Structure 1
């Protein structure tokens, strides 16, 4: 038997069982994955449900791989599967031959483990399947493992002193402006003055991140759809469904006052409290929302989290808001700073931040 599993995970796939539904891509899946996984093929969604209904807790497959049918009944099947306690936590992936953003949006809203549009690299799918099963097995141990990281970041005393000095002086000097902004936000639209979200900073530490609210109160609920249709960092390769960073172009969720606050960067002022608390530094890599950080776990890109998280950084002063800014370029800037940051580089970035504050691009 010819082994086609990826080198990093050779022989592991053969122990993974997949329940497959569909005919359109059956031959492709058989040819490329048949020797690497134990696959039970089902021609229709009804056949799949019948097969799964006959399984016990000991024979439930590791993965359900479903082709998107023309009537899109596959999504209803997923809903029914998730209501079955035996299927709780099962890995579900969909594949489609139709390049349709609405399908991707629906899959994201249902929080499927992944969605692929054919043609795509079968080796990528093979590696993804292996990873998802392994991740499911080790997930209960992640909290314990996160406390035993190989490399940790220790804030240099000089950098911390600079952070405390700058943030405290700015809070004292800008307190009247912050008070005025708070009043205007309250008068401009319904909702709280401050926006709080979970962000991932140094060493994957999660903390509460503060800004003046510049969006509608339902902005987070709208994100799943807009991350596909309006993302500046659109997927760069054919067949991919998502990019690591999300930056919305001409964001309709932003309020009238919010546009001014963002263009002047006044919405960022509450992060001075984050700096005082030690959650982040004045200069560093931007702390990311959890949904972005969880996509940057490869060895190549996780380096950005081994440096300080910051209010401003290389990205802000070099290419912030420019249309030619690719996702890979931004990652490289983050990695460069994590490796090369110094007191003098921080001073250079702080000086360069002032003209970068008044950006014209609406991103």
Structure 2
């Protein structure tokens, strides 16, 4: 049995969460450590699981499919069949593997599975992740209203908002000629749109359209699954015990020739002045995250970062941005510190420190 750690943040309704399990290698571990928290139906094989699911109605269908990767990898074929079934295509699917294989992880990401664990893993971490996936599935259709459900909300101080409008307005006017030149160069450099617009999660889990100058190939998003496995600076440890929340690609091959310069000079960030003027972000704060990263930071310890303002620059940018020794934990701790300690004086200090930090040493 793997030693558990205390994670009681969302245990009150676990017994109501139904899990359909398939496999024998981890069956005893899952039964001993998780049966007390979830309603689990154990099946010895993929075929047994599929037969069980075929007998379920809309009232009895499980919330989660927890399946071991089998020798013939029929588990992936099962996922494809379930996604074609109207009753089953919305199920949460998590896989467990006994062997370390990057190809399996990449395939799981390409199929957009909800998670993939490689043994050894901590059952308490798995339990907390399953809890969150169920909760996130319920709130995902209304993420824009999620800020109303947290215990603590962030309200932009009037002084900070006025400072944002003044700085962003002046910068936008002064840098408009530069932005026009950059837009023309992007068009000449490669095919595709001038701006890259993505969904980001900011203050209080608010989702908004995030603007940047395009610095990557147009197929960059499609290549992310492979890059996140092979090139992620925050990648999992070799034993598979640690899962990375952030994705940070070293020497990213998706970046265009012009894009490399735009990133190293931070010129690709200039369109975010529009986000600041709109009120989506502040000049100083924690960087808004892509949804796939934000959903990994859900424990009480790390969700604190979302209770502070989202920003164009912050403590991460002026402290260790671009340095190889910048760990995932260090970055999250900096975000939490700012969310708890931000002030007008700290903002001014960060703004002053941002200028020398613009030109980073490492291409990330």
Common fold, TM-score beyond 0.5? yes
- Give the Cα–Cα distance (whole angstroms) in 1 for the partners of residues 272 and 259 of structure 2: 16
Match of 2:345 in 1: 344
Match of 1:174 in 2: 175
Deviation at residue 131 of structure 1 after TM alignment: 4.2
Unaligned segments of structure 1, at least 5 residues: none
Match of 1:80 in 2: 81
- Give the Cα–Cα distance (whole angstroms) in 2 for the partners of residues 341 and 73 of structure 1: 51
Match of 2:274 in 1: 273
The answer to whether the 8 Å contact 1:5/1:11 transfers is no
Match of 2:302 in 1: 301
Deviation at residue 126 of structure 1 after TM alignment: 3.2
Give matches, 1:1-363, under 5 Å: 8=8, 12-133=13-134, 135-136=136-137, 146-236=147-237, 238-240=239-241, 242-363=243-364
- Give the Cα–Cα distance (whole angstroms) in 1 for the partners of residues 179 and 137 of structure 2: 45
- Higher mean alpha-carbon deviation, 180-189 vs 228-237, is at 228-237
Deviation at residue 318 of structure 1 after TM alignment: 0.4
Evaluate the alpha carbon distance shift between residue 199 and residue 11 of structure 1 in structure 2; reply closer, same or farther with a 3 A threshold: closer
Deviation at residue 272 of structure 1 after TM alignment: 1.3
Deviation at residue 37 of structure 1 after TM alignment: 4.2
Evaluate the alpha carbon distance shift between residue 142 and residue 49 of structure 1 in structure 2; reply closer, same or farther with a 3 A threshold: same
- Give the Cα–Cα distance (whole angstroms) in 1 for the partners of residues 43 and 318 of structure 2: 54
SS at match of 1:147: helix
SS at match of 1:85: coil
Provide Cα deviations, 1:160-195, integer angstroms capped at 9, x if missing partner: 222222222222222222111111110000001111
- Give the Cα–Cα distance (whole angstroms) in 2 for the partners of residues 10 and 276 of structure 1: 41
Provide Cα deviations, 1:313-354, integer angstroms capped at 9, x if missing partner: 110010001111111111111111111112221111111111
Length, aligned pairs only = 360
Deviation at residue 17 of structure 1 after TM alignment: 3.8
- Give the Cα–Cα distance (whole angstroms) in 1 for the partners of residues 18 and 355 of structure 2: 56
Deviation at residue 13 of structure 1 after TM alignment: 4.4
Evaluate the alpha carbon distance shift between residue 58 and residue 174 of structure 1 in structure 2; reply closer, same or farther with a 3 A threshold: closer
The answer to whether the 8 Å contact 2:122/2:241 transfers is no
Deviation at residue 218 of structure 1 after TM alignment: 0.8
The answer to whether the 8 Å contact 1:234/1:242 transfers is yes
Deviation at residue 200 of structure 1 after TM alignment: 1.5
The answer to whether the 8 Å contact 1:68/1:95 transfers is yes
Provide Cα deviations, 1:178-223, integer angstroms capped at 9, x if missing partner: 1111111100000011111111222222221111110001111111
- Higher mean alpha-carbon deviation, 280-289 vs 321-330, is at 280-289
- Give the Cα–Cα distance (whole angstroms) in 2 for the partners of residues 149 and 43 of structure 1: 40
Deviation at residue 143 of structure 1 after TM alignment: 5.9
Deviation at residue 145 of structure 1 after TM alignment: 5.5
Evaluate the alpha carbon distance shift between residue 6 and residue 139 of structure 1 in structure 2; reply closer, same or farther with a 3 A threshold: farther
- Give the Cα–Cα distance (whole angstroms) in 1 for the partners of residues 139 and 339 of structure 2: 28
The answer to whether the 8 Å contact 1:263/1:358 transfers is yes
Rg larger in 1 or in 2? Answer: 1
Evaluate the alpha carbon distance shift between residue 56 and residue 251 of structure 1 in structure 2; reply closer, same or farther with a 3 A threshold: same
Query: What do you get for the CA RMSD once the two structures are aligned?
Result: 2.5
Evaluate the alpha carbon distance shift between residue 147 and residue 256 of structure 1 in structure 2; reply closer, same or farther with a 3 A threshold: same
- Give the Cα–Cα distance (whole angstroms) in 1 for the partners of residues 155 and 12 of structure 2: 40
Evaluate the alpha carbon distance shift between residue 38 and residue 298 of structure 1 in structure 2; reply closer, same or farther with a 3 A threshold: closer
SS at match of 1:296: coil
